[in-house]
Structure 1
Amino acid sequence: MALFGAQLILTIIAVSFLHKFTPYHSLAEWLLARGNLVRYMYPKDEELRKLAGITVSKGRHRKNRSEHSRRISLLENSEDKSFSVPKNIDLDLRTRVIEPLHVMVLRFFSEYRWLVDFSAASLIVYALTESWLQSRGDFNLSLIWIVMMAGFALQVLFLLTALYFSSEEDGERSLCITFGFFFALVAMAVLIVPEEILEFGLDEAYENFTSGAIDFLKEQDLPSSGPISKIAFKSLIGVCAALLGAFLAFPGLRIAKMHVDSIRFAVDRPVMQIVLHTSFLFPMLITLMWVKPIGRDYLCNPATGKRMTGKDEPLMSSLTFDLIRMSLVPMLCVLRMLLMTHYLQSYLNMAKDKVEKLKQEAGRINSLELQKTVVRVFYYLCVVTLQYLAPMLILLSFTCLLKSLGGYSTGLFESSPVNSTASVPKTSPAVSPQSEVASAEATAEHFKIALENLRNVFSPVFFRGVFSFLTWWTAFAWFITSLFGIAYHMYFTEQ
């Protein structure tokens, strides 16, 4: 209980930090506005008139307008008098370093700042708890932080997906629905693959959950043949997987577009190209580690160890393989965070690319539409950043839950995994009915026994199977949607 108190103190400190410190010193603002990103400024009316050779009386100029109000009016279809200019106008966009004041007015900035700051606090609390504060039998409070982090990331993806459904164009809506049905079929196909090929452990998780639930219901004098059938269990997981795949559709397409542009901008930097390709293919490596013939059967086979080391023993134990497989996810997150500036700058460069493409076309364009084309890129910077970060945070959350709830131990700190088959006392000790204190102790003991029985229902074996599948599925769906995006942006948009 003393260590549980230490966890509670750490939680209170983290909450106070989020409430008092982050409004003034936000990690989210620092990631976007530390002088690392450059945005393109939209051309003003005076500049466009001068380049197009259009003269206008001075009385029609509106000089007392701030840049922010002009930018907002452009996006809200203001009634400013517009004019047409040639598409091939000799226009060079001005650049400006992004500052904290610039990003505060962007769309979804509040959601972005909360998600990043809360996720950073959650990961710090989780790391400290796993390292020093948790002991055997204690409830891990940091897991509540991780669950909330995953929930906020999923909420952000839901809001972004709803944004496409609320648009007037049907293309985005149809694409999201198509990906949802596609991933529903893929999930159902994956769930019937034998465990000898894809080792999620869902069959063992279902059997452990069913047996634990039956025992728990019997102890409560509620006889039952089982809470749920195996088909219903896997169907429920398949529906959740389809929804998650639909939410990951546009983030995958977005990162594919940024990857193609980043490779193009790094054409004279071969080392950067290698790093970018490694970052893009890393989810595929994580996915392959759950393919048993490629992963566990090869690396944990004594024959492989004999060929590589000359000793008749496997390269690693089964537990070491599980830990290495899970450690690939934090490695991916670190790599993506290091490349975040490069990816976001490639997105901001889209403003210049769009203007350059206009120069290759004939005809004229409304000045307001030209300005919107440029300013809209920066206006949706936080949306793109959320599409970049949210899948990463979901994947990392599932991995943390897999490690902790699955009963894995790194062996670096003094801890021991929870034993799912540990015997649970069936009766509470005799208590004198005359003593109120003894009665309270008996009630607490009864609650403890019920909690231990409930732990046998939701055992580490159950959590290991469920979160192993969710971790694999998130990496798989994220990579598949990215591949679709690569094919689309490289072969269809360039034709």
Structure 2
Amino acid sequence: MAILIVTENYLEFGLESGFSNFSESAMQFLEKQGLESQGPVSKLTFKLFLAVLCSLIGAFLTFPGLRLAQMHLDALNLATEKITQTLLHINFLAPLFMVLLWVKPIAKDYIMNPPLGKESVPLMSEDTFDTVRLWIIILLCALRLAMMRHHLQAYLNLAQKSVDQMKKEAGRISMVDLQKMNIFTPLLFRGLLSFLTWWIAACLFSTSLFGLFYHQYLTVA
């Protein structure tokens, strides 16, 4: 919500103009239908909805972000060439580059209109800048795909790393942890898994059977 409060002078998303255009178009449509309205939703409601959506996206990306950081570190340790390490660093910083492309004081004031002495000479038009920004995003996505092999190899090595860690800790397992394991035995998890598998299959079959009966007999005209 704090990001949505920032004005277009700093973060140029186009949300204000986009929402205004949406409201005007909706009001014109409702007027043609003979209805009076101040708009489908208020600006505050619109931003609250975006804030909730962004919160969900952030929650869903928390674990992948942590895993990506681990794979990045492992990939750097596996890489032997400087060019590969440089590309891995650029790949890791790619989201930051994309974020800065929408920061108006950085993107437009210093890239599109760089100050040269007392005057600022425009290097490109706004449409050209949008095109360049789009191509930068495409190139960064292509770089991430190119570096995927290194990340996947680092991810596969996590299994061996976990095994080595378990071997190191094998002699340091406390009696309490050992007792927690003689409690949560594989037989318990096997029973729970068997029950849940049976229950899901039973629910799926019973609801499907009811649906078959409903469509076969109850909806016949």
TM-score, with normalisation over the residues of structure 2?
Answer: 0.72
Q: Deviations over 1:387-416 (max 9, x none)?
A: xxxxxxxxxxxxxxxxxxxxxxxxxxxxxx
Question: Are residues 237 and 361 of structure 1, via their aligned partners in 2, closer, same or farther at CA, if it must alter by over 3 Å?
Answer: closer
C-alpha deviation, 1:230, in angstroms: 0.9
Partner residue in 1 for 2:30: 217
Q: For the residues of structure 1 that align with 2:120 and 2:62, how far apart are their CA atoms?
A: 46
In the alignment, structure 1 residue 339 sits paired with structure 2 residue 151 = no
Amino acid at match of 1:319: D
Amino acid at match of 1:347: Y
Partner residue in 1 for 2:59: 246
C-alpha deviation, 1:361, in angstroms: 3.5
Q: For the residues of structure 2 that align with 1:244 and 1:346, how far apart are their CA atoms?
A: 25
C-alpha deviation, 1:328, in angstroms: 2.2
Q: For the residues of structure 2 that align with 1:201 and 1:312, how far apart are their CA atoms?
A: 24
Amino acid at match of 2:98: I
Partner residue in 2 for 1:286: 98
C-alpha deviation, 1:285, in angstroms: 0.5
Secondary structure at the counterpart of residue 10 of structure 2: coil
Secondary structure at the counterpart of residue 294 of structure 1: helix
C-alpha deviation, 1:271, in angstroms: 1.6
Q: Deviations over 1:153-178 (max 9, x none)?
A: xxxxxxxxxxxxxxxxxxxxxxxxxx
Partner residue in 1 for 2:89: 277
Any gaps of 5 or more consecutive residues in structure 2? 182-221
Partner residue in 1 for 2:162: 354
Higher RCO (CA 8 Å, separation ≥ 6 residues): 1
**Percent of aligned pairs sharing the same letter:** 48
In the alignment, structure 1 residue 297 sits paired with structure 2 residue 105 = no
Q: For the residues of structure 2 that align with 1:362 and 1:240, how far apart are their CA atoms?
A: 44
Q: Deviations over 1:69-106 (max 9, x none)?
A: xxxxxxxxxxxxxxxxxxxxxxxxxxxxxxxxxxxxxx
Q: For the residues of structure 2 that align with 1:299 and 1:362, how far apart are their CA atoms?
A: 57
Amino acid at match of 1:236: F
Q: For the residues of structure 1 that align with 2:170 and 2:15, how far apart are their CA atoms?
A: 59
Secondary structure at the counterpart of residue 348 of structure 1: helix
Q: For the residues of structure 2 that align with 1:354 and 1:362, how far apart are their CA atoms?
A: 12
Partner residue in 1 for 2:70: 257
Q: Is the helix fraction higher in 1 or 2?
A: 2
C-alpha deviation, 1:364, in angstroms: 8.2
Any gaps of 5 or more consecutive residues in structure 1? 1-187, 370-495
Q: CA RMSD in A?
A: 2.3
TM-score, with normalisation over the residues of structure 1?
Answer: 0.33
Secondary structure at the counterpart of residue 273 of structure 1: helix
C-alpha deviation, 1:348, in angstroms: 0.8
C-alpha deviation, 1:339, in angstroms: 1.1
Amino acid at match of 2:55: A
In the alignment, structure 1 residue 199 sits paired with structure 2 residue 12 = yes
Amino acid at match of 2:134: M
